[in-house]
Amino acid sequence: MKQTAGKPLKVALLGCGVVGSQVIRLMREQAGDLAARIGAPLELAGVAVRRPGRVRGVEVDPLLITTDAEALVTRDDVDIVVEVIGGIEPARSLILAAMNSGKSVVTANKALLAEDGATIHAAARDNTVDLYFEAAVAGAIPLIRPMRESLAGDHVHRVLGIVNGTTNYILDKMDSSGASFSEALEEAQALGYAEADPTADVEGFDAAAKAAILAGIAFHSRVTAADVHREGITEISAANVASAREMGYVIKLLAICARSDDGRSFGVRVHPAMIPRTHPLAGVREAYNAVFVEAESAGRLMFYGAGAGGAPTASAVLGDIVAVARNRLAGTCGPEESTYADLTVHPMGETVTRYHVSLDVADKPGVLARVAEMFAKQDVSIQTVRQEGLGDDAQLVLVTHRASDAALSATIEGLRELDIVRDVVSVMRVEGEDAS
């Protein structure tokens, strides 16, 4: 619906937590500038929350607070609905109700978009309203819009990066100050980086949702969270971090979306990986995120910035509010979802990368030969071998050349069967060498 310039555009806010409270603050503090940029003032129509009496990070007129979110999103005078509740329900029903009532929607909800983006995008299209979601991936970093719009004329081969602030904060603290996993997680929660249930962060669900969204946009295909191979960081020990450090590596939780060589399929994965300390991603500290996008003509682009936290995320939300408000004034809508390519997602077993394998082995002659034979049997070539410790504490640390995940898994299974292998201590993918 075309809006008359000058008349306030009314914004309904769903959720007033870490992000929502900062959205209100920025809308208030920058009211004049925002009105000038949009061509009409923004006005907060109401704020839906779960616990109305709660003290918030921002002062809110009690008359604006409601627990009846559905009534708020369907109100005739509301133009734009901003969803920062999170999770699947009631967020999905509220967004659909809003769109079915002709409101444009801004959301930071990657979990919902990765779970059921098809329904939400279809509702936006059917109702000719906007769906903007810049804050859903990589916090403040402008990434969705460059990928949806600026790179729409290019052919993306690969998207690779750090897309979860909480896990990056934890791994960085473990690496730089020797903090324990739980201490670092508590700090990340206190700083407002973690999801309401931090399992989503540490088990990789949040990064997987973001990877699904990025892969869908990059490869013009429908991708859901279920398509993403996911491993979290809960198994990463202080010893793993220290051992990586000794070898000149740092451990990061990476999201990697990559087209196959024939271009007909792609893989999407989230897992911890060792990267060389000289790699640009190694310097991404605390809750910062960084994403490389590699495209045919553009080459390699790097996006870097604050990946989590109230104000940075609210910045992305505000950018979307401005875009949606401008569209409403112009009587237009932003780009629709593009899934025309309909490429298939290939299984993790077909992924090719390098591996760091640490084995607890018996200290006797012939051990190295038998271990090497097991790698050779699966056609996994060893690049380096190092022996650590002596006698009963001997460990073999091997780094492979590039091999498929299936071949590596079969090698590990075989190694577990050998009487000379007491334990497979750790297996970690190695990324980012040869500037890859």
Ligand X SMILES: NC(=O)C1=CN([C@@H]2O[C@H](COP(=O)(O)OP(=O)(O)OC[C@H]3O[C@@H](n4cnc5c(N)ncnc54)[C@H](OP(=O)(O)O)[C@@H]3O)[C@@H](O)[C@H]2O)C=CC1
Ligand Y SMILES: N[C@@H](CC=O)C(=O)O
Packing angle of the helix pair 310-330, 31-38 (nearest 10 deg)? 30
90 upstream amide cis, omega within 30 of 0? yes
Pick from 308, 321, 357, 408: which binds ligand X (CB under 6 A)? Answer: 308
Residue with tokens 């790179």: 151
Pick from 4, 51, 62, 297: which binds ligand X (CB under 6 A)? Answer: 51
| Longest CA span, the chain | 84
Closest by CA position to 401, among listed 341, 356, 338, 367: 356
- Shortest distance (Å) from residue 65 CB to ligand Y: 24
Residue 57 annotated in ligand binding:
no
Residue 309 annotated in ligand binding:
no
Pick from 164, 224, 240, 426: which binds ligand Y (CB under 6 A)? Answer: 164
Show the site string, 214-253: x = touches ligand X by CB under 6 A, - = not: ----------------------------------------
Q: Which two tokens stand for residue 85?
A: 């509740």
- Shortest distance (Å) from residue 47 CB to ligand Y: 21
Q: Which two tokens stand for residue 123?
A: 């509702």
Catalytic-role residue among 103, 173, 210, 252: 210
Give the Cβ contact number of residue 357 at 10 Å: 23
Amino acid identity, position 77:
D
Number of residues that bind ligand X (CB under 6 A): 29
Per CB under 6 A, 16 contacts ligand X: yes
- Pair 212, 228: CB distance under 8 Å: yes
Q: Is 2 considered catalytic here? A: no
Per CB under 6 A, 108 contacts ligand X: yes
For 85, which DSSP code? Answer: S
Rounded CA-CA distance 27/41 in Å is 10
- Shortest distance (Å) from residue 51 CB to ligand X: 4
Give the Cβ contact number of residue 286 at 10 Å: 18
- Shortest distance (Å) from residue 361 CB to ligand Y: 38
Per CB under 6 A, 17 contacts ligand X: yes
Per CB under 6 A, 20 contacts ligand X: yes
- Shortest distance (Å) from residue 137 CB to ligand X: 8
User: Closest residue to ligand Y, Cβ-based?
Assistant: 166
For 30, which DSSP code? Answer: T
Q: Which two tokens stand for residue 113?
A: 């978009």
Residue 333 annotated in ligand binding:
no
- Pair 174, 258: CB distance under 8 Å: no
Rounded CA-CA distance 110/339 in Å is 18
Number of residues that bind ligand Y (CB under 6 A): 11
Partner touching 16 among ligand Y, ligand X, none, CB below 5 to 8 Å by kind: ligand X
Residue 20 annotated in ligand binding:
yes
- Pair 97, 73: CB distance under 8 Å: yes
Rounded CA-CA distance 332/319 in Å is 17
Pick from 232, 309, 334, 432: which binds ligand X (CB under 6 A)? Answer: 309
Binding site for NADPH, by residue number, is 110
Residues binding ligand Y (CB under 6 A): 139, 164-166, 193-195, 201, 206, 307-308
Q: Which residues are catalytic?
A: 210
Residues binding ligand X (CB under 6 A): 14-20, 48-51, 54, 69, 84-86, 90, 108-110, 135, 139, 192-193, 195-196, 308-309, 313
Binding site for NADP(+), by residue number, is 14-21
